[in-house]
Structures are given as structure tokens and as C-alpha cells.
Structure 1
């Protein structure tokens, strides 16, 4: 079963600055309320194939996912995280609205595996709540980092 949550988030940063902030997936610690810790695996420039170990808390439990940057195109980033119970995809599309403002179209999808699939229909409302929290936190977190 797939759960998908979409949010359009207006961020007071120029397009290039917001993309640079978001492509370092370790910043999820700052803008994703579910992320407890996110650390880059390896070194060097961020490019397709770069990986991060992400520890998230959801419904009182922590889980670890290994995320990789799957797509890095002008105006689009796609990260895919996996563990034994879920594949999570964060698809981000960026559009300049002004020289100092960017619209982020953010889609988070969760495909559950094994027995976890049985719980998926009951989790949609919690993922929607998390989507609202991301939309509320991300603009100020990105602005603090750039400030």
C-alpha cells in the first residue's frame, strides 16, 4: 500500500539557495519533525548516489533508513530511503516565484512492505499531520540556515 502526502511550500529564499539547502539531506534534522538524526555516508560533493543514514521517530518508535539521492536535476531532487518495512520517497520540485522566493512542491510517498502493509491504511492521517508540520517548519529552518 502506498501513502502519498503533497504540500506546496513557499520559502523566502532564492531558487539556488533553497536547492542547495535541500540537497544536503542531513538538513532534515532541522525541518522534518520526524527526523531524530540524519548523517551523510561518505564524503565529496553531493551528487546522484550520495547517501545518508536517517533515524526517524514515528508513533513512539524509531527506525533507521538509508537514503540515497536518486535524481538530481535542475529544479528537482528525489531521495529514496529504505529499510525492511518501508520505502520512502521524497520528491521535491522547485520553481522560482521571485528573485527571493521559491515554491517547493514536496511529495512524500511511503510504500510499506511485509506485515507493515496491514497497518498502512490506518496511518494516513498521521502522515498528513507530519506533512503539515514540515510545511510549517521548513521555511523558517531554511531561512535560519541561510541567515
Structure 2
């Protein structure tokens, strides 16, 4: 398994940050690996909402179906899967005087033979996490 974590402070109220990040369809705006992220079901964004995420990694396009597993005022958890990988994105949020402390953690568990490649992919996932750390605050503060 590969896990990466980044901590950011953004100049936006926690409620706005939570609402924006709860809609996983916004992911292409802040995740440099994501090309598209399309809602698969109608209605409000609540636990159980689903998206299809299309990403590019190492020159290959891959699709994962994501589910909003947990939606609390201080925490969001999404899980995405396909036959090769199961991804968990966990976002914790804490208000701090009009600003927001945000911790983003992504974990990837590879299935089958793909597990063998896991140690060789860590550096690229660290690079992607660094890119999210640079881009997400800019997007949140501009939204």
C-alpha cells in the first residue's frame, strides 16, 4: 500500500472548504492527475454519492468509481476502485480563526500482480501529493 499525506492552511472558512471538497466532481480543478470526474447519481452530495473519475498516471488513462463514504463537518472519506487498485481519499478539516487547516491523505492498495509495482510507484505518488499541496490552496482561495 502507498499512503501520502499533506497538510495545508487556506484562507477560507471551514464550511465553504468542506462543501467544495465534498463534491468530488471538483477534483479536476485541484488534482493534476484527474482529467474528468462525473457524478453517477442525481441529488444532493451526501454519503453514498458516486462519481466516475478518469485520471492519467504514467501516460495511461484509468477510471475509478468513487463513493462518498463519510461526510461529517470535520471529515470526508471517499473510496474509489477498479480491478487494479482501491483508493481512499480522506480529508480532515478544522476551523482556525476564519482560516481552515486541511489534511489530505490518499492511500492506494493495489490488487493482484499490480501489488508488485507498489514500491516503485511511491515517488510518483509523492510528486502528485506535492502538486495537490501547491494547487489546492490556490483553488480554494480563489473559489
Identify whether the pair has TM-score above 0.5, normalized to the shorter chain. Answer: yes
Map residues 7-46 of structure 1 onto 2, 5 A cutoff: 7-46=6-45
Distance 1:43 1:144 in 2: 27
Q: Kindly state the Cα deviation for residue 140 of structure 1 after the two structures are TM-superposed.
A: 1.1
Q: Once the two structures are superposed, what CA deviation does each residue of 1:59-108 show, in whole Å capped at 9, x if it has no partner?
A: 00010000000011121000000000000000010011212x10111100
Find runs of 4+ consecutive structure 1 residues off by over 3 angstroms.
none
Which residue does the alignment assign to 1:136? 134
Which residue does the alignment assign to 1:69? 68
Unaligned runs of 5+ in 2: none
State yes or no: 1:116 paired with 2:75: no
- Note if contact 2:68-2:78 (Cα within 8 Å) is conserved in structure 1: yes
Unaligned runs of 5+ in 1: none
How many equivalent pairs are there? 143
State yes or no: 1:6 paired with 2:17: no
Distance 2:114 2:12 in 1: 38
State yes or no: 1:57 paired with 2:56: yes
TM value normalised by structure 1? 0.95
SS at match of 2:112: coil
Q: Kindly state the Cα deviation for residue 11 of structure 1 after the two structures are TM-superposed.
A: 1.3
TM value normalised by structure 2? 0.98
